[in-house]
Amino acid sequence: MFDIERWQEIFDTIRKNKLRTFLTGLSVASGIFILVILLGFGQGMQNGIAKEFAADASNRIWVWTQVTTKEYKGLNPGRRIELKNENYDYVNSRFSDNLDKKSPVYRVRDVSVNYGKETIGYSIQGVSSGFQFIENQFLSQGRFINQSDEESVAKVIVISNKIKREYFKNGEDPMGEYLDLSGIKFKIIGVFGDVGGEREEDRMFIPITTAQRVFNGANQVNNLSYTLQPAESFEQAVVESMQFSQELKSYLQEVHSVAPDDGSAINVYNTLENAKRFYGLTGNIKFFFWFVGICTIIAGVVGVSNIMLIVVKERTREIGIRKALGAKPISIVGMILHEAIFVTAISGFSGLVFSMALLELVGPLIEVDYILNPSVNFNVALSTVFVLILAGALAGFFPAWRAAHIHTIDALRDQ
């Protein structure tokens, strides 16, 4: 291995057989390159999907209503279903063991929001304290709506970072300032941000009780939102939350006289169910990429073996000559293996470096939905290079061994 004469002999051979060396190298390098890129994108997809779901607490359950589409109990289709406070309260007490965070949502409509002379064109939602956790929001300043705000029907409002940026210029502090909601003053008590990004920040929050009472909501609720108590495992969490959504839906259908098979009147969205589908999908995609990658590597190995076979065949006569001049079989095998390993190693690593560099440079710039920061585990990539080198060595070894043990006369006769 450290025999400098051997190295020189090998470099001589490589230098004088450039095409052969290049082709061997190319098949190895491209195999590694394709594998790394594929694995990178597999990871990128998983990252991207994980990020989509990081937007909200991942076991969120969300209820919204539309009009009925089916006749039921003598009632015509086309009826608008409206959720009530009683529905919310009943669910709370019936499923109190399962529920973690909960909040009703009442969307305040037809209200103009003013700060000084400016009109703020974003919507207002009445919520409870639990909403912050359900929507995965963080507070940049102040606090969120709390229990006592709800009880005292306080005229307080939480704005978003985006609104703060747009309406409180020059670093003005919004805390303690008042917004004018159709003539009623609301005090700003907090500024929130949403990890889901800016489109989740196009709104402001006031206590649900205030929203209903001040803006003629009576006991109406637009949405119910919940998170469930964490379960032992992902699978169990999915089972529990599916069961909960099912029971929730049945209950609401019953009290609002909606046909059990009416698909659109009452809707329960369960992120976990979706997450499970997507996670399953990414798992499959990753598996697929691995499969393709491994096939590529196998193709690379076969390519290397093929080239090695041809190389040895082509060199049979040369091997005979070398043996006649006093080369031992072991030195013949050593020479061919040394060359094979050297070429596969160099080209394998250059394929690795090139593809990793490409992922590092281009990866973060990719802005496609569901693909985020494609990257690859360096150790995994490195191991594949070693597998390929080993395969190349094995592929070279058997023909080399055979060639070294052909009778010298027969090797010399080879044309």
Partner 1 sequence: MIEIKNLHKSYKMGSNSLHVLKGINFSVEEGELVAIMGSSGSGKSTLLNILGMLDEADSGEYTLDGVPIKNLNETKAANYRNKFLGFVFQSFNLINYKTAMENVALPLYYQRVARKEREKKALMYLERVGLKEWATHLPSELSGGQKQRVAIARAMAAEPKVLLADEPTGALDSKTSLEVMELIQKINDDGNTILIVTHEADIAQMCKRIVHLKDGVIVEDKKVKQVRASSYVQ
Binding site for partner 1 (CB under 8 A): 5, 8-9, 12-13, 16-17, 317-318, 320-331, 404-405, 407-409, 412
Cα pseudo-dihedral 293, 296, 301, 304, rounded to 10: -140
Nearer Cβ to partner 1 (69/408): 408
Nearer Cβ to partner 1 (85/331): 331
Rounded CA-CA distance 47/73 in Å is 48
Nearer Cβ to partner 1 (93/415): 415
Nearer Cβ to partner 1 (51/405): 405
Nearest approach in angstroms of CB 405 to partner 1 is: 7
Residues 224, 60 contacting (CB under 8 angstroms): no
Contacts 24+ apart (CB under 8 A), 273-277: 273/238, 273/241, 273/242, 273/245, 274/53, 275/53, 275/58, 276/234, 276/238
Segment holding 20, helix H or strand E: helix 18-54
Nearest approach in angstroms of CB 342 to partner 1 is: 17
Nearest approach in angstroms of CB 6 to partner 1 is: 9
Nearest approach in angstroms of CB 337 to partner 1 is: 17
Nearer Cβ to partner 1 (321/382): 321
Nearest approach in angstroms of CB 321 to partner 1 is: 5
Rounded CA-CA distance 194/191 in Å is 10
Nearest approach in angstroms of CB 1 to partner 1 is: 16
Residues 150, 209 contacting (CB under 8 angstroms): yes
Nearer Cβ to partner 1 (10/81): 10
Q: Which residues pair with 205 in a beta bridge?
A: 125, 158
Segment holding 244, helix H or strand E: helix 234-255
Residues 249, 270 contacting (CB under 8 angstroms): no
